[in-house]
């Protein structure tokens, strides 16, 4: 079973490195953030479930900063999968993470992502 990467010592100078204690994903099965395959209906559903948890999380921005700083390229982090993180400029990801609301579904966020890349 894969675990989440270790947090960076300090992320922005204002929040301690224990931001993960506030993460909604901390009590979830870590495998949820690592769907097998990218196009099967079950993998798409699993990714949608994981992203929905991310969208409602109060430390989503800290998670995104951690993944951008660590270079981690696996799994869903901060509501973005590997392909979305690789194809999108980090500043765009930061803006989208800060704008996303808990009631935003994956389709709405993917739509914003597509608009940002156009």
The closest alpha carbon to 24, from 49, 2, 56, belongs to 56
Mean pLDDT on 78-99: 86
Q: Considering the entire predicted model, what is its pTM? A: 0.69
Q: Which structure tokens are listed for 61?
A: 């921005």
Residue 12 placed within a domain: no
- Domain ranges, residue 59: 19-117
Q: Decide if pLDDT at 53 tops 70.
A: yes
Q: Decide if pLDDT at 25 tops 80.
A: yes
Number of domains forming the structure of the chain: 1
Residue 40 placed within a domain: yes
> What pLDDT shows up at residue 97?
79
Residue 36 placed within a domain: yes
Residue 3 placed within a domain: no
Residue 35 placed within a domain: yes
Residue that wins the pLDDT comparison between 78 and 10: 78
3-state helix, strand, coil in the chain (%, to 5): 60, 0, 40
Mean pLDDT on 85-91: 87
Mean pLDDT on 31-45: 88
User: Cβ(63)–Cβ(93) under 8 Å?
Assistant: no
> What pLDDT shows up at residue 94?
85
> What pLDDT shows up at residue 37?
77
Residue 66 placed within a domain: yes
Residue 7 placed within a domain: no
Residue 13 placed within a domain: no
Mean pLDDT on 5-28: 67
């Amino acid at each position: 079973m894969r675990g989440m990467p270790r947090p960076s010592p300090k992320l922005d100078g204002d929040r301690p490195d224990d931001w993960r204690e506030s993460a909604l994903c901390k009590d979830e099965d870590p495998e949820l953030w690592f769907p097998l395959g990218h196009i099967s209906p079950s993998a798409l559903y699993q990714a949608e479930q994981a992203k929905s948890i991310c969208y409602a999380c109060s430390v989503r921005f800290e998670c995104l900063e951690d993944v951008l700083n660590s270079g981690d390229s696996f799994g869903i982090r901060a509501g973005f999968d590997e392909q979305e993180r690789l194809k999108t400029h980090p500043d765009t990801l930061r803006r989208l993470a800060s704008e996303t609301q808990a009631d935003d579904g994956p389709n709405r966020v993917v739509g914003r992502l597509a608009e940002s890349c156009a």
